[in-house]
Amino acid sequence: MKQIKGRKRVIIENVYPEIDCGKYPVKRVVDENVKVSADIFADGHNVIKAVLLHRKKGNGKWNETPMKHLSNDKWEAVFKVTRTGWYEYTIRGWVDHFESWQKGLKLKFEANQQIDIELQIGARMMMKAREQASSKHRNKIDKWIGFINEMKHNPAAAAALVLSEEVSDVMYRCADRKDAAVYEKILRVEVERKRALFSSWYELFPRSTSPVPGRHGTFKDVEEVIPLVAEMGFDILYFPPVHPIGKSFRKGKDNSPDAKPDEPGSPWAIGSSEGGHKAIHPELGTLEDFHNVVKKAAGHNIEIALDLAYQCSQDHPYVKEHPEWFTWRPDGTVQYAENPPKKYQDVLAMNFENDDWQNMWKELKSIVDYWIEQGVTVFRVDNPHTKPFRFWEWMIGEIKKEHPDVIFLAEAFTRNKVMDRLGKIGFTQSYTYFTWRNSRDDFIQYLHELTRSERREYFRPNFWPNTPDILPVSLQYKSEAAFISRLVMAATLSSNFGIYGPVFEFCLNVPHPLREEYIDNEKYEIKHYDWKSMTRMRKLIALVNRIRKENPALRTTWNICFAETQNDHLLCYGKTDDEKQNRIFIAVNLDTTFTQGSWIKVPLQEMGISPYRSYNMLDLLTGNSYSWNGEWNYVELNPNIFPVHILKVEQ
Amino acid sequence: MKQIKGRKRVIIENVYPEIDCGKYPVKRVVDENVKVSADIFADGHNVIKAVLLHRKKGNGKWNETPMKHLSNDKWEAVFKVTRTGWYEYTIRGWVDHFESWQKGLKLKFEANQQIDIELQIGARMMMKAREQASSKHRNKIDKWIGFINEMKHNPAAAAALVLSEEVSDVMYRCADRKDAAVYEKILRVEVERKRALFSSWYELFPRSTSPVPGRHGTFKDVEEVIPLVAEMGFDILYFPPVHPIGKSFRKGKDNSPDAKPDEPGSPWAIGSSEGGHKAIHPELGTLEDFHNVVKKAAGHNIEIALDLAYQCSQDHPYVKEHPEWFTWRPDGTVQYAENPPKKYQDVLAMNFENDDWQNMWKELKSIVDYWIEQGVTVFRVDNPHTKPFRFWEWMIGEIKKEHPDVIFLAEAFTRNKVMDRLGKIGFTQSYTYFTWRNSRDDFIQYLHELTRSERREYFRPNFWPNTPDILPVSLQYKSEAAFISRLVMAATLSSNFGIYGPVFEFCLNVPHPLREEYIDNEKYEIKHYDWKSMTRMRKLIALVNRIRKENPALRTTWNICFAETQNDHLLCYGKTDDEKQNRIFIAVNLDTTFTQGSWIKVPLQEMGISPYRSYNMLDLLTGNSYSWNGEWNYVELNPNIFPVHILKVEQ
């Protein structure tokens, strides 16, 4: 019985957000809010109070934010995180005896009951509070008690005093909280830098950057391309693996199992006699060349993202140095990747269940350390769902201890729960199903899944209209309108987005005859592009990225609200910043062939638009301007002219 | 890194049921099932296996039930609890390398690939499994390995063997589970006796049982009434407080603040110079008389339920013996209960925040101990939500350690979250909002809240059509049909139900002019009833209780499924036992004045009724029989004849 806190009457439960009973943190970026709610109540009918306690981890002292009772015992408060690292929060609640007393006094006074004894009870409570009070408050309390005693024959005056805001305020501050209940867990927030939530990715194959057809592109060539990428407004430039490529079982054009001698192979078949994951493919250049790329990119405010693909070609030095990290077959050959009956002889999966797993984990982490030393701050992780979750949790955790700014993007196109788990255990961002969403209702449902469920607390989506492995049906053989609408949706539905270029800017869209991917996949051959040719799409990308940067409403994914439309070819949604100062409304015609129009219902309240005054809609893409009024307004989009609006609300 | 279980690849999360992160147990009664589900998955594409581990607490060894993958990484298994007390459960999952290998082998074999090396890999796995095997299995494995080696030139024969059920079974049993993941928590089930879920309560005021008008009823009179209560089929007979009643500020008829000298006062104003919570009101009789009531009731398979009202009249011995347990006002008077501006001078709330709270808790618990010694096994707890939750959690927990069979019914007509919490912390059953639900959709929504949310795991509803404090509008001035339909709904929607009699059997329903309660509330006066007069309602109650006892489908609350009806005056629902052998279908006309009919859609699948054969519906109330066919059938109920069907499905 000694352990029981018998006088703590307040109950605090159902705290949100709380991921897996607090096992995993909530994620935020700098300057985001953490809105915390909980069910808080006590026995009986006393007034209760609750505060949200929050602090930067290690700071010791808690900050207190009073919580507000919404309804049905649900309370809420918000705090803002302003620095990267870890924050903590919990909740404290207590019975407010003084306010309970005030409430009763007021009712009795209004019912014309005798309140002289009541006033004495109040004075007693003040005397008790006095013990906890600062000297300033103590003086006030003394004065008030004196007044109550003087006003024995004028209870109305005494009641007016003790019900005053000043008395309430001082008594709140001096409240005895020794019987306050504190929630049993301290919950955590991992705060990352802003780019974790707001980033524009551009993917290119360095070997395809040569201006001379047929020549292998180099990091020096990449340097020439960087200004073009910067011009389009991207801030992360992502390279597929840049390491030596295996020669054994090298894949040829179109995934052919028999490469011709001059074929370059897939960059994901990592490792040869020239080195492994810490080496650079000699034809791309030297480590110094790589440093120059990083430097040049930094000069354009671009970060380099490397591909982290924990797999090896049969020629990878690990195979000889650490044979125990691989699986060996009874005939003495090493086990290559399979998806029976398919065989991927150019790639070996590593055996995470081997007896030397600890050394293997350390070595795999050292690869990340190595590239961080070379200036890399962002990693796009290849197929993380085929390596153990416990490995990622450990590895990312260890890296972030020293480098909290490093970003990991999970390339896991797989089942929901697996993708969720990768988010929980530390991945900063994740690829999504955006690529395969097509109808209005699909988009709305998917965005609600991402932004209106607990998932928003730990899973940051990154929307890609295409990748080297995916040319979705929505782009295949389609007109430029399809590219424009997919671009605008990726860039405005989600604050993290990316494209695989330059095939996107050039609107290349001939699919493989059998698969939902590009014909003659760039993974297996060097391509030549006319990098400097300016397309309308390139200008448009630059404009969309500028609009994203200039409008805070587009710098987050969590603020989306959809508009009702009467034509399901039209997808319309609004986004605003926290203060509803910056308000953007987007309309997309999902039909890339025909003009579609609809009355649409603007979510005025969510967007902070007054229904009593007309408002101007300025199209940030075209410069056109429309005068709108109230909820229902008409939108018509001709895909052959322009399939989208990005409208800025001006009222 | 040493603490990391690096080779455990399986993830187990989102386990259901798990109440407040395992802080509170799931509740069951003897012979109920516990269906456990979880999200279970691993990295990669290996086959995984999972088992539900469960045991009676203290038994040490776990029982294993294989879990089944439903879809989308959700797995499920069920175990049955067969004894009162505590059970535990958790989950173990592992990668099944042998089955993964079998799967690959099968695909390769079917694709006509070479499988000789594959077979050697399988033989190796068998050799390894042999180390864990029993001698019986070891012999089999030796034989199989021999066969594989012999069949070098007949891989088809070897493949047929290694894919056989017998090999799969032995290899499953011998699997190396050292890298199995175990869920991080051991979750608990509190198993109570069957009456916790299936009980019929009857409430009467002992003082109103005298056969002589004007005379105070006694326990001896109660003995005469017990056979009538038994005849109606009730198994719990609940008395309002039987303790001495305070004289100071005693309430008179209709809650009058000025009782006349001969008025008996409210039984809830507990305590006088004649004793407190452990004493018996002298006019009711002696402790021996009480023992005789308990004995007589037991002879009819009826348990006595006492009212546990932790409050005192101003004359209660505690007030003098433990003044510190009460709140005193500056004028030297003791603080009575209030709901300003209302005053309840006949009742003192106890101060649970007093410095001597530990002794007070012990004394309050000793009251329960005392009555358990006198043969009481059931307590109806008055207003538990006005005493601290931590007190109940401790008190009920302590009592149940020694007396796991004791039942506590929470009389908390209050907010959802408060009622939920009382369930979580140990109350066996709870009063509900049933009393105020009236429309078809209200009932469906409320029953879904109770039975299809997590609440079903810890909150057992008890449905009362009336109480001494509540004569709901649905009964006021209504015909007998209202009583019949409320009775049948209470008794079949919920497996726990009760009535306050004999006003219910007599269909008394004149309300107080101002409140939703009976005129001249029995709390403040002695009533005289003609206990022995037989009404149709009394016979009907007996029949309904017999139907409940004879039909397992009605012995649980959790199995309800509603039928679609095209007339919202008709509420229709089915219930079946686990095996779908006993199937009951209920139809209620909620309109107590007019005949209502509707086509209704019988939930055939949920009720295990074949759509291919007609079925007979036998009305257990009237003996009428109907031949039904398929989903849609017609029901018509005339409230002036009979407003309900309780149909037994015969097919």
Q: How many secondary structure helices (H) and strands (E) does chain B include?
A: 15, 31
Please give the span between the terminal C-alpha atoms of chain A, in angstroms, as a whole number.
64
Catalytic residues of A: 382, 411
Q: Do residue A352 and residue B72 have CB atoms under 8 angstroms apart?
A: no
Q: Does A39 touch chain B (CB under 8 A)?
A: yes
In terms of CA atoms, which chain B residue is nearest residue A421?
A: B11
> What pLDDT is attached to residue B2?
76
How far does the CA of residue A10 sit from the closest CA of chain B (Å)?
8
Q: Which residue has 């499988």 as its token pair?
A: B115
How far does the CA of residue A560 sit from the closest CA of chain B (Å)?
27
Q: Where are the beta strands (DSSP E) in B212-329?
A: 236-239, 303-308, 311-312
How far does the CA of residue B549 sit from the closest CA of chain A (Å)?
37
A320-376 pLDDT, tens digit per residue, is 999 999 999 999 999 999 998 899 999 999 999 999 999 999 999 999 999 999 999
From chain B, the residues in CB contact with A338 under 8 A are 104
Q: List the domain boundaries for chain A.
A: 11-95+183-191, 98-173, 193-242+280-310+350-554, 560-650
Contacts of A136 (CB under 8 A, 6+ apart): none
Q: Do residue B108 and residue A361 have CB atoms under 8 angstroms apart?
A: no
- Which of B8, B43, B331 is facing A117, going by the closest CB pair? B331
Looking at the predicted structure, is the pLDDT value of residue A1 above 80? no
B159-193 pLDDT, tens digit per residue, is 999 999 999 999 999 988 889 999 999 999 999 99
- Which of A4, A95, A352 is facing B390, going by the closest CB pair? A4
> What pLDDT is attached to residue B4?
85
Average pLDDT over residues A600-606: 98
In terms of CA atoms, which chain A residue is nearest residue B353?
A: A7
Looking at the predicted structure, is the pLDDT value of residue B535 above 90? no
Q: Which helix (H) or strand (E) holds A436?
A: none
Question: What is the rounded distance in angstroms from the CA atom of residue B462 to the CA atom of residue B429?
Answer: 6
CA dihedral B400, B403, B405, B411 (to 10 degrees): -50
Nearest alpha carbon to residue A388 among B4, B539, B203: B4
- Which residues between 409 and 448 in chain A have a beta carbon less than 8 angstroms from any beta carbon of chain B? 415-418, 421
> What pLDDT is attached to residue A3?
80
Identify whether the C-beta of residue B331 lies closer than 8 Å to the C-beta of residue B362: no
- Which of A72, A340, A394 is facing B4, going by the closest CB pair? A394
For B11-95+183-191, CATH gives: 2.60.40.10
From chain B, the residues in CB contact with A184 under 8 A are 23
> What pLDDT is attached to residue A632?
98
CB neighbourhood size of B612 (10 A): 7
Pairing state between β B63-66 and B181-182: unpaired
Which of A43, A103, A184 should be substituted to probe chain B, the one whose Cβ sees the most B Cβ atoms within 10 Å?
A43
> What pLDDT is attached to residue A366?
98
Q: Does B358 touch chain A (CB under 8 A)?
A: yes
- Which residues between 372 and 411 in chain A have a beta carbon less than 8 angstroms from any beta carbon of chain B? 385-391, 394
Considering chain B, what is the average pLDDT of its residues?
97
pLDDT bracket for residue B308 (50, 70, 90): very high
Class of domain A193-242+280-310+350-554: alpha beta
In terms of CA atoms, which chain B residue is nearest residue A361?
A: B6
Question: What is the rounded distance in angstroms from the CA atom of residue B640 to the CA atom of residue A555?
Answer: 67
Which of A46, A103, A185, A390 should be substituted to probe chain B, the one whose Cβ sees the most B Cβ atoms within 10 Å?
A390
pLDDT bracket for residue B450 (50, 70, 90): very high
- Our measurement of the distance from residue A164's CA atom to the centroid of its chain's CA atoms, rounded to an integer in Å, reads 46
Least confident of B174-183, B239-248, B599-608: B174-183
Fold equal for B193-242+280-310+350-554 and B560-650: no
Q: Does A73 touch chain B (CB under 8 A)?
A: yes
pLDDT bracket for residue B100 (50, 70, 90): very high
- Calculate the alpha carbon distances from A416 to A309, A403, B10, B455 in Å: 21, 28, 16, 26
> In chain B, what percentage of residues exceed pLDDT 90?
96
> What pLDDT is attached to residue A2?
76
pLDDT bracket for residue B60 (50, 70, 90): confident
Contacts 24+ apart (CB under 8 A), B396-405: B396/B425, B396/B426, B396/B427, B397/B426, B398/B365, B399/B365, B399/B368, B399/B369, B399/B372, B400/B426, B403/B372, B403/B377, B404/B84, B404/B85, B404/B192, B404/B193, B405/B84, B405/B192, B405/B193, B405/B377
Q: Does B43 touch chain A (CB under 8 A)?
A: yes
Question: What is the rounded distance in angstroms from the CA atom of residue A517 to the CA atom of residue A500?
Answer: 12
For A98-173, CATH gives: 1.20.58.80
pLDDT bracket for residue B271 (50, 70, 90): very high
> What pLDDT is attached to residue A192?
98
Least confident of A566-570, B5-9, B437-441: B5-9
A69-93 pLDDT, tens digit per residue, is 999 999 999 999 999 999 999 999 9
Least confident of A168-177, B26-35, B452-461: A168-177
Q: Is 2.60.40.1180 the CATH classification of the domain at A560-650?
A: yes
pLDDT bracket for residue A535 (50, 70, 90): confident
> In chain A, what percentage of residues exceed pLDDT 70?
100
> What pLDDT is attached to residue A534?
84
Identify whether the C-beta of residue B256 lies closer than 8 Å to the C-beta of residue B189: no
Q: Do residue A43 and residue B416 have CB atoms under 8 angstroms apart?
A: no
pLDDT bracket for residue B3 (50, 70, 90): confident
Which of B43, B120, B125 should be substituted to probe chain A, the one whose Cβ sees the most A Cβ atoms within 10 Å?
B43
Q: Does A361 touch chain B (CB under 8 A)?
A: yes
Contacts of A213 (CB under 8 A, 6+ apart): A528
Q: Do residue B124 and residue A330 have CB atoms under 8 angstroms apart?
A: yes
Q: Do residue A394 and residue B352 have CB atoms under 8 angstroms apart?
A: no
Q: Does B356 touch chain A (CB under 8 A)?
A: no
Q: Which residue has 């915390």 as its token pair?
A: A36
The full DSSP string for B16-29 is ES-BGGGTB-EEEE
Q: Does B104 touch chain A (CB under 8 A)?
A: yes
Give the three-class secondary structure for A101.
Answer: helix
Question: What is the rounded distance in angstroms from the CA atom of residue A411 to the CA atom of residue A305?
Answer: 13
Pairing state between β A10-16 and B199-203: unpaired
From chain A, the residues in CB contact with B358 under 8 A are 1, 6
Average pLDDT over residues B81-105: 97
Average pLDDT over residues A99-108: 96
Q: Do residue B73 and residue A417 have CB atoms under 8 angstroms apart?
A: yes
B274-302 pLDDT, tens digit per residue, is 999 999 999 999 999 999 999 999 999 99
Burial (CB < 10 A; 0-12, 13-18, 19+), residue A387, is: buried
Nearest alpha carbon to residue B238 among B405, B367, B381: B381
Please give the structure tokens belonging to residue B473. 């509008």
A253-284 pLDDT, tens digit per residue, is 999 998 999 999 999 999 999 999 999 999 99
B482-508 pLDDT, tens digit per residue, is 999 999 999 999 999 999 999 999 999
Taking each helix axis as running N to C, give the angle between helix B97-110 and helix B155-162, from 0 to 180 degrees, rounded to the nearest 10. 140
A28-58 pLDDT, tens digit per residue, is 999 999 999 999 999 999 999 999 999 999 9
Q: Does B124 touch chain A (CB under 8 A)?
A: yes
> What pLDDT is attached to residue A146?
95
Average pLDDT over residues A107-132: 94
From chain B, the residues in CB contact with A105 under 8 A are 340
